């Protein structure tokens, strides 16, 4: 069987089993099985696969049909044009989260931002993307999971930003050694009742998905503690889930009087990022 034939059969199999984007998925899995680049793959479409290569590819397709995410199978995920190492210890970076990075970069370009804290860094994709785009900014990245921080450390080394992204173990903002100019967070926002409906729930860490009874438990806890960790004139950027914008903006306004609160949609038109610039913070609430 040639590479071209293997790709065609894999696409048909994945499509028949309702796997999204079967062409891309089959390509990623075959490239991983063969250990070659995309350019090599398409230059060698008529290359005959060995029996061992064919068997390995079939094993990978079988894992994907069992709903194991391709990123975990290959150990890689592209985010903001960069390649990141991933494992089941971290949430797989999503394309919609790139909006959070874009908003942070725009803020840093339009006002003075010398320090940024990313809360719940996971693989480190957000913090590292910011570090590469904003070379003069000091970045803290916190996570409660030591296993996730190991993945983030590996990615920092891969992208040569270990001296500028400071990984800190602990809950939310607690590990921060100083107030910062910008706090950015993509916290768990899936409600407990919705978790069983996700095919990925058996693979991605529940700690990175479970947002409590209404999906906003960790967002509430973060917002209640922001004022002590944000410099005057600083800003908070939060990624939220579909249908959560009213609740989150109401929460922000209840905690920060006269705050400037805005909501930005992603490319699908779903409200995705809430930005908060506090003016008169109310005392922290638990």
What per-residue confidence (pLDDT) applies to 281? 44
Q: Which domain holds residue 56?
A: 3-66
**Residue 42: which CATH number?**
1.10.8
Q: How confident is the model at residue 285 (pLDDT cuts 50, 70, 90)?
A: very low
Residue 20 lies in a domain: yes
Residues 62 and 202 in one domain: no
Is 81 among the domain residues?
no
Q: Which of 39-48, 94-103, 193-202, 235-244 has the lowest mean pLDDT?
A: 193-202
| Cβ atoms of residues 24 and 11 within 8 Å | no
> Are residues 110 and 60 both part of a single domain?
no
> What are the tokens at 268?
């699908």
Task: Note whether residue 286 is domain-resident.
Answer: no
User: Of all residues in the chain, what percent carry a pLDDT higher than 90?
Assistant: 79
Is it the case that residue 150 has pLDDT exceeding 60? Answer: yes
Q: Is residue 71 in some structural domain?
A: no
- Tell me, yes or no, whether 49 and 9 share the same domain: yes
What is the DSSP track for 33-102?
A: HHT--HHHHHH-TTPBPPHHHHHHHHHHHHHHHTT--HHHHHTEEEETTEEEE--TTSPPP-GGGHHHHH
Asked whether residue 284 carries a pLDDT value surpassing 90, the answer given is no
For the residues 8-32, what does the mean pLDDT come to?
95
More confident residue, 237 or 203: 237
Q: How far is CA 105 from the centre of its chain?
A: 16
Half-sphere exposure of 70 (CA within 13 A, CB side): 21
pLDDT of residue 194: 78
Q: Are residues 277 and 154 in the same domain?
A: yes
What per-residue confidence (pLDDT) applies to 189? 86
**Section 50-77 average pLDDT:** 95
Residues 135, 238, single domain; the answer is: yes
Q: How far is CA 199 from CA 16, 22, 122, 203, 220, in A?
A: 17, 17, 20, 8, 27
Average pLDDT over residues 149-163: 97
Q: What is the pLDDT of residue 283?
A: 42
* Shared-domain flag, residues 61 and 10: yes
Considering the domain architecture, whether residues 132 and 37 belong to the same structural domain is answered as no
Task: Report CA-CA distances (Å) from 75 to 67, 90, 277, 285.
Answer: 15, 11, 37, 40
What was the pLDDT predicted at 125?
98
Q: Are residues 16 and 136 in the same domain?
A: no
Q: How many domains does the chain have?
A: 2
Residues 146 and 206 in one domain: yes
Structural domain includes residue 73: no
| Over residues 200-216, mean pLDDT | 79
Can you give the pLDDT at residue 200?
58
Report the DSSP beta bridge partners of residue 55.
Answer: none
- Regarding whether 205 and 102 lie in a shared domain, the answer is yes
- The CATH number covering residue 257 comes to 3.40.50.150
59 or 212, which is more confident: 59
Are 186 and 225 part of one and the same domain? yes
Whether residue 184 is predicted with pLDDT greater than 80 in this model: the reply is yes
Looking at residue 111, what is its pLDDT? 86
């Amino acid at each position: 069987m040639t590479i071209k034939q293997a790709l065609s059969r894999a696409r048909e199999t994945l499509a028949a089993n309702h796997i999204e984007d079967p062409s891309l998925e089959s390509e990623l899995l075959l490239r991983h099985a063969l250990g070659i680049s995309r350019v090599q793959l398409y230059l060698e479409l008529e290359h005959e696969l060995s029996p061992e290569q064919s068997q390995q590819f079939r094993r990978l397709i079988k894992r994907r049909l069992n709903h194991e995410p391709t990123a975990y199978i290959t150990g890689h995920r592209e985010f903001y044009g960069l390649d990141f190492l991933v494992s089941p210890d971290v949430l797989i970076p999503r394309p919609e989260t790139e909006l959070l990075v874009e908003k942070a970069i725009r803020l840093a370009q339009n006002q003075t931002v010398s320090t940024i804290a990313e809360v719940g860094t996971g693989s480190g994709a957000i913090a590292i993307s910011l570090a590469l785009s904003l070379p003069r900014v000091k970045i803290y990245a916190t996570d409660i999971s030591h296993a996730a921080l190991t993945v983030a450390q590996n990615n920092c080394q891969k992208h040569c930003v270990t001296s500028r992204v400071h990984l800190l173990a602990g809950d939310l903002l607690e590990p921060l050694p100083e107030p910062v100019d910008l706090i950015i967070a993509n916290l768990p926002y899936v409600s407990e009742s919705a978790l069983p409906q996700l095919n990925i729930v058996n693979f991605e860490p529940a700690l990175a998905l479970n947002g409590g009874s209404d999906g906003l438990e960790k967002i509430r806890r973060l917002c209640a503690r922001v004022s002590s960790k944000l410099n005057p004139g600083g800003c908070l950027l939060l990624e939220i889930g579909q249908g959560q914008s009213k609740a989150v903006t109401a929460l922000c306004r209840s905690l920060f009087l006269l705050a400037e609160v805005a909501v930005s949609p992603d490319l699908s038109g779903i409200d995705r990022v809430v930005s908060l610039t506090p003016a008169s913070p109310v005392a922290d609430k638990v």
